[in-house]
Amino acid sequence: MFRNTSSLIQPLVFFIIIALLFPFSLPAEGELLQRIGGGVIWVSAVLATMLSLESMFHSDYQDGTLEQMLIHPRSLPLAMLGKALAHWTATGLLLTLFSPLLCVTFNIPSEQIWVLFAGPLLGTPSLSLIGATGAALTVTLRRGGVLIAIVILPLYIPILIFGAGMLTQTAQGLEVASQLYALAAILALSITLAPFAIAGALRVTIN
Amino acid sequence: MQESLERDLIDTVNPITASWNFLSDTYHRLGSPREFYTISRYTTPIFGILFLTLSLIGTYFGLFVAPADYQQGDSFRILFVHVPVAWMSMFIYIVMATAGAIGLIWRIKMAFVVTICSAPIGAAFTALALLTGSIWGKPIWGTYWVWDARLTSELILLFLYFGIMAVYYAFEERKVAEKATALLSVVGVVIIPIIHYSVEWWSSLHQGATVFAEGGPKMPAEMLLPLAFMAVGFMFFYGYALFLSMQNRVLENEHKSRWVREMVIRQGKNNELVRFFLHGRLRLRGLDLLGFNIIGASRICDFS
């Protein structure tokens, strides 16, 4: 993934463009943008992650690396954990680093910007891990992209609710600790369980 | 003395062993498509009759005997449909995921059939729960829909059912499709506790647990009784719909096997073949509309 810089840049550019489409399509009122900004950034991050999922196992499947991993005596779930975390550093981490920058374009007050940094930092690894399960299920299909969306988006909704909920909480001057705890709990669950689901999905779909 | 003691022991153990043997025998027989087909041909009508009886009794008591609510008046009576249907939407998911796990772990063919046939029934119950809920919400909350924890998570459940159905149809090879569907249904099971506890975790417009609340149900018996009748009745409806759908799928999956061919030929001799197909089609049309059921009978036509 790091060898090919275009796969590194594409999700990031997609993320920024999607987020910037909203100011263009909505009345340019500072107050409105400020209110919806957090949600828009979260939705864009989810879409950008999803877009990059299709290529996650694709080249490995094409050149037979994946089959080698399957028959290798080394633990497959552990390898998949590494794979998902590598995917996160190339997408989720980058998106997290750029989301404070997008906050500026949405007029989000500077004291709230850390919320849009901490939230994605805890939330995007879960997106990669859960998404990898969908990618593994659909890796053998020729047109898996739409199917990934149908399968994975319902599972993303809880993360989205907690992540975007943080911003409305801070806007009202309330504590966000509970949302952060929830995101952390989802992350803990997906780090421990998702690798097994990914490995299982690969064993099912690849004969 | 010794003999009588042994006889006593046998006498006390026997009914338990016998019933255990019977259960385990039935369970193993259900694992075979052919045996399932034979058994379910007898049990399915029983389920249907039980569903009709129980739900008719529940409807009568719910509409005419149960008193009106002191706050909500008569509009609360939709509860007798809404609550059992919402329970079923989650119950079916749990059955589906459990069957999926059983299929993946012990490689039982019929478990996958349970998973795949449960998905459209569960989706229908979920859609019905959302529909009846919004009809109830209009007079009581003043709105058909709110973006509230319970409603949103139920909607996620509906989309999850759709995703599971979509995965099954995406794969060309049936065995891979079955396993992939089972795996996704097991992964999605995390959503069930979120739905169940959403009313307690978040402050919600939806009322909290009333029937399975701490310290017993907060509901008079005249309301609880019809609710119980409806809940058990819907459970039998699930059994009825599931078995019909499973029979259909078994015929489709096994249409090349000998017992299906022999059965069709036998029924053709008795001039019942046409009746069988007509009857089968008629019975299955309701489920067919859900888009998941392919008429196995039409495949059988090809070779007979």
Question: B205: how many CB neighbours lie within 10 A of its CB?
Answer: 15
> What is residue B10's predicted lDDT score, i.e. its pLDDT?
53
Spatial distance between the Cα atoms of A78 and B17, rounded to a whole number of angstroms: 45
DSSP state letter for A111: G
With 0-12 / 13-18 / 19 or more C-beta atoms within 10 angstroms meaning exposed / middle / buried, residue A29 is exposed
ipTM score assigned to the predicted complex = 0.86
Shortest alpha-carbon distance between residue B209 and chain A (Å): 22
Identify which of A107-111, A142-146, B53-57 has the greatest average pLDDT: B53-57
Per-residue pLDDT reduced to its tens digit, B157-195:
999 999 999 999 888 888 899 999 999 999 999 888 877
Per-residue pLDDT reduced to its tens digit, B271-287:
444 445 544 544 444 44
- Inter-residue contact B250 to B291 (CB < 8 Å): no
Q: How many domains does chain A have?
A: 1
Q: What is the mean pLDDT of residues A133-138?
A: 92
DSSP state letter for A144: -
Per-residue pLDDT reduced to its tens digit, A32-87:
888 888 888 999 999 999 988 888 888 888 888 888 888 888 889 999 999 999 99
Shortest alpha-carbon distance between residue A149 and chain B (Å): 9
Does A151 contact B184 at a Cβ distance shorter than 8 Å? yes
> What is residue B295's predicted lDDT score, i.e. its pLDDT?
42
- Which of chain B's residues have a Cβ under 8 Å away from the Cβ of A151? 163, 166-167, 184
- Inter-residue contact A145 to A121 (CB < 8 Å): no
> What is residue B123's predicted lDDT score, i.e. its pLDDT?
95
A180 is written with which tokens? 């952060």
Spatial distance between the Cα atoms of A199 and B207, rounded to a whole number of angstroms: 40
- Please tell me which residue of chain B has the smallest CA distance to A136: B180
Q: B163 — contact with chain A (CB < 8 Å)?
A: yes
Contacts of residue A167, Cβ cutoff 8 Å, sequence gap at least 6: A37, A38, A39, A108, A112, A115, A116, A119
- Inter-residue contact B104 to B186 (CB < 8 Å): yes
B197 is written with which tokens? 């506890």
Spatial distance between the Cα atoms of B195 and B201, rounded to a whole number of angstroms: 10
Per-residue pLDDT reduced to its tens digit, B68-108:
777 777 778 888 899 999 999 999 999 999 999 999 998 88
> What is residue B284's predicted lDDT score, i.e. its pLDDT?
45
> What is residue B101's predicted lDDT score, i.e. its pLDDT?
94
Q: B183 — contact with chain A (CB < 8 Å)?
A: yes
- Please tell me which residue of chain A has the smallest CA distance to B160: A154
Instruction: Show me where the domains of chain B are located.
Output: 34-237
Spatial distance between the Cα atoms of B66 and A74, rounded to a whole number of angstroms: 64
Confidence band, pLDDT 50/70/90 cuts, at residue B3: low
